[in-house]
Amino acid sequence: MSESSGISRAQVAVIYLVLTMAIASGIAIYSSATTFTALLKTATAGLFLPILLAMIVAFMLDPLIRQIEHYGIHRTLAIFTIYLIISATIIVLLVLIGPPNWRGMIQALKADVPRYVSFAIVYLTGLLELAQQHFPFIAEYHLGDHLRNLSQTLIGAILVQTPRSAMRFGSLLVLVPLFSFFFLRDSRRIMRGIIALTPNRYFEMVLDIYAHVSWQLSTFIRGRIIEAIIVGLVVWAGLALTDIRYAPLLAVIAGITNLVPYVGPIFGMLPGITIALVDLGIGPQFWWILCVYILIAQVIVDNMILIPILISKVSNLHPLWVILAIIMGGKLYGILGMIIGVPIASVINIIILEIRQYRRTFNPYNRYFSSRGKML
Amino acid sequence: MSSNPIWHNIFRHQAEKESLSYFLSQVPIFAKLTRRELAYLEKLIHIRNFEAHEMVFSGGDIGSGMYIIRSGQVQIFSQDADGREQELALLEAGDFFGEVALTASRPRSASARAATATSLLGLFRSDIVDATQRHPAPTAKILFGLNRVLADRLLQCDEQLERLQRASRTPQEPSHE
């Protein structure tokens, strides 16, 4: 420090110390923040699915509870009544039909999945060879190996995950009714509390927009779930007419994948088609199954009957957003994320559209902002 | 027990007079509601606190509900193109305003501003719409009360209009009122 500037050695030392401390504390804050988010992530890891399912259950049960409330019954009592009816129905069904044979089903799946996958591999390799004859430049790609690896991981996952997922299923059985009970009972109060925080001059607008958005959202979610259930039931009924195995499981897959527009139904019918090809071969039954999946479930029931009735045009997403939502959802939460990515994107879409709609229809001359701005 | 003023004061009167539902039962719109219905109404109402000179709403805004003054004063005024204000009314505790917007989203016809620090009870359309589905009977009573008050005002308006028309038809004749 031999420059002629007025900084003495002590001052340099102080500056040096301060800078070091600043950097150190910055790093400390940053690292503690990342550990904090990591902690938060670990703490909430298993909660995502139960909360999501509980919200869906709450949305589905709300109209029923409103019906009961009509008779002047307190909401809590109404919720308990609905819970009682549902659990009674499940118990009666279990007694009448008997509990499903989970063990047998899983054993059979363990044996059958490799068979189906190896068939698919043989079939796809054949296709690839055919393609290679016409387009020699794709010779490098070993599709068979890729698929074999994939199937091995899948089988391994089924073997390892079954007991674990049984435990998770048990916890869901406890958590989902509990969460949905509180959502049903207190969501109104919680939302009122949150809305009450808005400043006076935006309060009316926020209240109105919230009412619109929540109405749109509940119709949308209810519509999507009912649509998935009906499509699943139709697929089940159609498949039950044939000799195909795992009809209930395939119906569940078809129903759940139906939540994803455009792409979902295609992936939903792949397992069914594969099983039909392997077990039944190409024959009248195979064509019937194909017909059930595409023509009856998708074209007639879904596109011609359910979507016009249940889903409003408002919630239509552009196909590009659908694909983006699937990819991003998959990156975040795996297969679950792929399925729920699109509904969540639609929910965000509905919120944005409603706010824009509100501002356009309710403020035709943009008076809201100008008049308030002028007077205050 | 009601004969004994001490018991009366301790157990009922005091607490009841300060409660929100007692206050609501004094508002003409809700005069005919039972105690239980008032308790339900309490759940629909939003309590909003305004500072002195804070705007409640401005004329031309799209309204979404009515306000009842619990404490404080609210000044209702209109504004001409130059921004000059003309006071239309000064409302006190127990008065209500903005009731036209409760059933239909219409622009506010005048502006409202808190003259002093004011506590308002807001009753809004979205809550009423929700309540008609969940508890139709008390909601019908609330809307009936609102209708009664609106009808009274319409009647007064008609009378005033008639008086004005009569006065304008015979301008030379001095008015008898």
pLDDT digits (tens, 9 = 90+) for A242-270: 888 788 888 888 898 888 877 788 888 88
Percent of chain B exceeding pLDDT 90 equals 26
Structure tokens at A301: 């029931």
Task: Tell me how close the Cα of B106 comes to any Cα of chain A, in angstroms.
Answer: 9
- The rounded mean pLDDT for chain A is 79
pLDDT digits (tens, 9 = 90+) for A340-367: 787 888 888 878 877 777 766 655 444 4
- B4 φ/ψ angles, rounded to the nearest 5 degrees: -80, 115
Q: List the single range of A18-22, A248-252, A261-265, B5-9 with lowest mean pLDDT.
A: B5-9
Which H or E element spans position B125? helix B125-134
- Among A43-52, A87-96, A324-333, which range has the highest average pLDDT? A87-96
The rounded distance, in Å, linking the Cα atoms of A265 and B95 is 59
Check A192 against B46: CB less than 8 A apart: yes
Q: Do the Cβ atoms of A234 and A301 come closer than 8 Å?
A: yes
Mutation target vs B (from A202, A214, A371, A376; most B CBs, 10 A cutoff) = A371
Q: Which helix (H) or strand (E) holds B77?
A: strand B74-79
Show the tokens assigned to B49: 């606190």
Q: At B160, is the pLDDT very low, low, confident or very high (cuts 50, 70, 90)? A: very high
Measured between CA atoms, the residue of chain A closest to residue B123 is: A204
Q: If pLDDT is split at 50, 70 and 90, which confidence band does A82 have?
A: very high
At A12, list the tokens. Answer: 């340099």
Tokens standing for residue B10: 């301790």
Residue A69: the pLDDT is 84
Could you tell me which residues come within 8 angstroms of residue A139 by beta carbon, excluding any fewer than 6 positions away? A132
Structure-model confidence comparison of residues A319 and A167, the more confident one: A319
Output the six-digit token pair for A272. Answer: 């069914």
Q: Give the per-residue pLDDT at A84.
A: 94
C-alpha A238/C-alpha A187 separation (Å) is 40
Q: Which of A66, A68, A79, A204 to mutate to test the interface with B (most CBs of B within 10 A)?
A: A204
Find which of A78-87, A254-263, B60-69 is predicted with most confidence, using mean pLDDT.
A78-87
Strand partners, B65: B124
Neighbouring CB atoms inside 10 A of A328's CB total 15
CB contact under 8 A, B130 and A211: yes
Q: Report whether B64 contacts B107 (CB < 8 A).
A: no
pLDDT of the residue at A273: 85
Residue type at A219 in one-letter notation: T
- Mean predicted confidence (pLDDT) in A57-82: 88
pLDDT for residue A373: 41
The minimum CA-CA distance between B11 and chain A, rounded to whole Å, is 27
pLDDT at res. A361: 60
Question: A375 and B56: CB-CB below 8 Å?
Answer: no
Nearest residue on chain A to B61, alpha-carbon basis: A368
* pLDDT value, residue A71: 82
* Min distance B112 CA to chain A CA atoms (Å): 11
Confidence of residue B3 (pLDDT cuts 50, 70, 90): low
Order of strands, edge to edge, in the sheet holding B96-97?
B46-50, B118-124, B65-71, B96-97
Greater confidence (A106 vs A313) lies with: A106
How many CB atoms are closer than 10 A to CB A85?
A: 12
DSSP state of B74: E
| Mean per-residue pLDDT, A186-205 | 87
**Crossing angle for the helix pair B35-44 and B125-134, nearest 10 degrees?**
130
Helix, strand and coil percent figures for chain A, each rounded to 5: 85, 0, 15
pLDDT band at A368 (very low <50, low <70, confident <90, very high): very low
pLDDT in tens, A290-335: 888 888 888 888 878 787 777 666 567 777 888 888 888 888 877 7
Q: Give the pLDDT score at B101.
A: 83
| Interface residue ranges in chain A relative to chain B, Cβ cutoff 8 Å | 66, 69-70, 72, 192, 196, 200-201, 203-205, 207-208, 210-211, 362-363, 367-368, 371-372, 374-376
pLDDT at B36 over 60: yes
Judging contacts by C-beta atoms under 8 Å, the chain A residues touching residue B61 are 204, 367-368, 371-372
Higher-pLDDT residue of A104 and A166 is A104
Instruction: Determine contact, residues B47/B119, Cβ cutoff 8 Å.
Output: yes
> Are B48 and B122 contacting, i.e. CB atoms less than 8 angstroms apart?
yes
Torsion of CA A17, A20, A24, A29, to 10 degrees: 80
The predicted pLDDT at position A172 comes to 83
CA distances from B94 to A54, A195, B45, B97 (A): 43, 25, 15, 10
Pick the closest to residue B27 from B66, B75, B76 (CA basis). B66
Residue environment code for A132-157, b if the CB has 16+ CB neighbours within 10 A, otherwise e: eeeeeeeeeeeeeeebeeebeeeeee
For helices A143-195 and A48-69, angle between their N-to-C axes, nearest 10 degrees: 50
Beta bridge partners of B78: B86
Q: What CA–CA distance (Å, rounded) separates B142 from B139?
A: 5
User: Can you tell me the mean pLDDT for A117-123?
Assistant: 78
Sign of CA dihedral B123, B124, B125, B128: negative
Whether B103 contacts B129, CB under 8 Å: no
Q: Which of A7-11, A114-118, A154-158, A298-302 has the lowest mean pLDDT?
A: A154-158
For position A374, what pLDDT does the model report? 40
Contacts of B122 in chain A (CB under 8 A): 203
Confidence class of residue B73 from pLDDT cuts 50, 70 and 90?
very high
Chain B: residue whose CA lies nearest to A64: B134
Is B137 in Cβ contact with A207 (below 8 Å)? no
* Phi, psi (deg, nearest 5) at residue B113: -140, 140
Question: What three-state secondary structure class fits B118?
Answer: strand
Provide the strand spans (E) within chain A: none
Q: Which helix (H) or strand (E) holds B86?
A: strand B85-91
Higher pLDDT, A174 or A374: A174
pLDDT higher at A315 or A153: A153
Does B63 contact A204 at a Cβ distance shorter than 8 Å? Answer: yes
- State the best of B34, B75, B126, B132 to mutate against chain A, taking most chain A CBs within 10 Å: B126
Cβ–Cβ under 8 Å, residues B121 and B38: no
- Cβ distance A175 to A50 under 8 Å? yes
With an 8 Å Cβ cutoff, are B61 and A70 in contact?
no
